[in-house]
Structure 1
Amino acid sequence: MDFDQTDAYLRRIGAERPAAPTTRALHDLHLAHLRAVPFENLSVHLDEDIELTAGSLVAKVVGAHRGGFCYELNGAFAALLTAVGYEVTLLQARVYDASGQPGIPYDHLALRVLTADGGDWLADVGFGTHSHFPLAFGERGDQSDPGGTFRIAETAEGDLDVSRDGKAQYVVDRRPRALADFTSGAWWHRTSPRSHFTRSLVCSLLTGTGRITLSGRTLTTTEAGERHAVELTTDADVLEAYDKPFGITLAQVPQVKKTVSSDAPGSPGSPGSPDSPGGATAS
């Protein structure tokens, strides 16, 4: 990303260009991204191509004013962080389903970020309801965050288990990866009838007081722990809901595409589910 593209990205998330790639600046950028760029899977149901290159992802998030799922959001965020001076490593993770089983390889994309003041962080703006701020990569005790209590624990194989409020979220492989490595995982989640992304519509955004989510025609607002759900009855209402809270302008209401049933091996996990792993219900 060049200087002007970086400035455009920073304007997109309402953030200032950091004077240096510090821990404080990383925390500010992480929260700003979560509050400005929605987690959404609309491209899956709008027949839009998803190209895992930094240029394409930034063009979608910044130029098209859209969001995306984990590969897109963390892929674009990695480009921004690199452009402002951070050392960023892409990591592949497998998301745990409701029964505690990990999903397919490259199920999820997370980021390891090193800061100029010696910080080592696990950053993730693409997992729906998750930590508001990066997690300390080397910390093995509880980490308090507005999004819950998180813990990173080493597995017997040398990977890292990430849990939230005592529930396993995903397991991270520490080896560095390239963005192109996630192509198969993104393809599976875009096409498999066993992927939650092909079976549901979701658009979700962190707010200053909670979260707002449009799941199909259900608009759910959570404020201070109180949930309020409204069923939108007309297409015009749905399009307005995408436009106003999320800033997404659509020409048509997305519809869940029908998929062919399959018994092929695959992951039941849903990276970036806005409520919990293995589920596409938004909070």
Structure 2
Amino acid sequence: MVPMEDCYLRRIGLSGAPEDWGPEPAESAGERLAALVAAHQAMVPFENLALHAGEPASVDPVVTLAKIVTRRRGGICYELNSALGWLLQRLGWRVAWHAGRVRGADEKYGLPLGHLALIVSAPVVSAPTSSTLAGERWLVDAGFGGDAICGPVERLVTGLDGPEAEAVVRDPDGVPVRYLLETRCRPLSDFAGMAWWHSTSPVARFTGSLVCTVTREGQRITLAGRRLKITCAGPAGGERQLVSERWIEEEAELLGIYRETFGIELDAEPVQRQSVANGSPR
């Protein structure tokens, strides 16, 4: 039987053995990590289709790996980052789970544990011959909508080692605040409740729309319902630039886009559920 970590690497289009994507040699660790996260972003869509079909998001690796690797689906932040964190651990990285509160369009911050992100580092090795650079840390986030984040903590996060309960995560150019990140790490199980809430609550953003998006070759491709939109990066710190946008009229074409662009095989058009009763899933 092929090990799951090998299957996962193939799922995101990466060749080589698992050790080729680990933290050694340290001199190129950041480059390998960034390449892995970019591959994940390009091949595993950020999508909420399953929760509209009655499948709540999970942080259980057994569930998320079956969904992402075996069934070749995507997910929301809890699913994408918990699965990616599992893979990184199997490849030899140290992974810490951190909760975030995302800034909304109204510039207010969301609920505690409303987002899951990773702080990744190389393991501390005591052998003096090791080339591992102890203490270097990266913020890794493959579940922030269409944007993947992978970069040194000192460049992207302000206050992670400070006395406050939350640190500030910014874009690499330091302009907008993306979200507030708890300075303490948590067990992955702490996120199970909010993963369920985001899958079921009538006021959660993911229950109010259908979305599927990937970013590859500098373009973000997003299917929101039947609206297909392609954007590219704008000026530093600015909004993304529109490349094209159109409405998909025919279901056959819609299913073809899900299959060819996002790698998702569907028998019928996803349907957004319209009612909630006593907090049960839509």
Quick one: which amino acid aligns to residue 208 of structure 1? E
Q: Deviations over 1:188-209 (max 9, x none)?
A: 1111111110110000001113
CA radius of gyration, larger in: 2
Task: Give yes or no for the alignment of 1:136 onto 2:152.
Answer: yes
User: Which amino acid in 1 is paired with 2:12?
Assistant: I
Distance (whole Å) between structure 1 residues aligned to residue 107 and residue 149 of structure 2: 25
| 1:90-146 C-alpha deviation (Å, 9 max, x unpaired) | 11111112232221111000001002433201100000233x451211x1xxx4xxx
Q: Return the alpha-carbon distance in structure 1 between the equivalents of residues 218 and 170 of structure 2.
A: 23
For structure 1, the 5+ residue unaligned runs are 144-150, 265-283
Q: Answer whether contact 2:120 2:139 (CA < 8 A) is retained.
A: yes
Deviation at 1:28, TM superposition (A): 1.4
Q: Is the contact made by 1:93 and 1:172 (CA closer than 8 Å) also made in structure 2?
A: yes
More deviation, 98-107/218-227: 218-227
Report the equivalent of 1:187.
196
> Given residue 206 of structure 1, which amino acid in structure 2 is its aligned partner?
T
Match of 1:270 in 2: none
- Equivalent residue for 1:233, pick from 243, 249, 255: 249
Taking only aligned residues, the RMSD between alpha carbons, in angstroms, comes to 2.2
> Does 1:175 pair with 2:184?
yes
- Alpha-carbon distance in 1 for matches of 2:54, 2:268: 12
Q: Does 1:74 align with 2:81?
A: yes
1:14-53 superposed matches below 5 A: 14-16=13-15, 17-19=18-20, 20-21=22-23, 22-53=29-60
Give the structure 2 partner of residue 205 of structure 1: 214
Distance (Å, rounded) in 2 between the aligned partners of 1:62 and 1:254: 21
Is 2:116–2:191's contact at 8 Å kept on the other side of the alignment? yes
Is the CA contact (8 Å cut-off) linking 1:41 and 1:202 kept in structure 2?
yes
| Cα pair 2:12 2:39 within 8 Å, conserved | yes
Is the deviation greater in 16-25 or in 93-102?
Answer: 16-25
Separation of aligned partners in 2, 1:79 and 1:129: 21
Give the match for residue 89 of structure 1: 96
Indicate the residue corresponding to 2:263 in structure 1: 247
Gaps of 5+ in 2: 24-28, 123-131, 234-240
Shift of 1:226: 4.0
- The CA distance in 2 between the partners of 1:34 and 1:80, in whole Å, is 14
- Classify 1:157/1:173 alpha carbon distance in 2 versus 1 (closer, same or farther; 3 Å): same
Distance 1:213 1:52, change over 3 A: same
Partner of 1:8: 7
More helix, by proportion: 2
Distance 2:224 2:275 in 1: 18
Counterpart AA for 1:152: V
Q: What is the alpha-carbon distance in structure 1 between the residues aligned to residue 141 and residue 92 of structure 2?
A: 18
Residue 120 (structure 1) aligned to one of 107, 121, 137: 137
- Identity level (%): 37
Q: Aligned residues, how many?
A: 250
Question: Compared with structure 1, are the counterparts of its residues 50 and 226 closer, same or farther at alpha carbon in structure 2 (3 Å cutoff)?
Answer: closer
Change in Cα spacing, 1:156 to 1:259, as seen in structure 2 (3 Å) is farther
Matching residue's letter, 2:245: A
Q: What secondary structure does 1:245 align onto?
A: helix
- 1:100 aligns with 107
**Which whole-Å deviations, capped at 9, do the CAs of 1:200-242 have from their partners, x for residues lacking one?**
0000001113111100001112256442012111221211111
Tell me which amino acid in the other structure corresponds to 1:23. G
More deviation in 229-238 or 42-51?
42-51
Q: Which residue of 1 aligns with 2:237?
A: none
Q: TM-score, normalised by structure 1?
A: 0.82
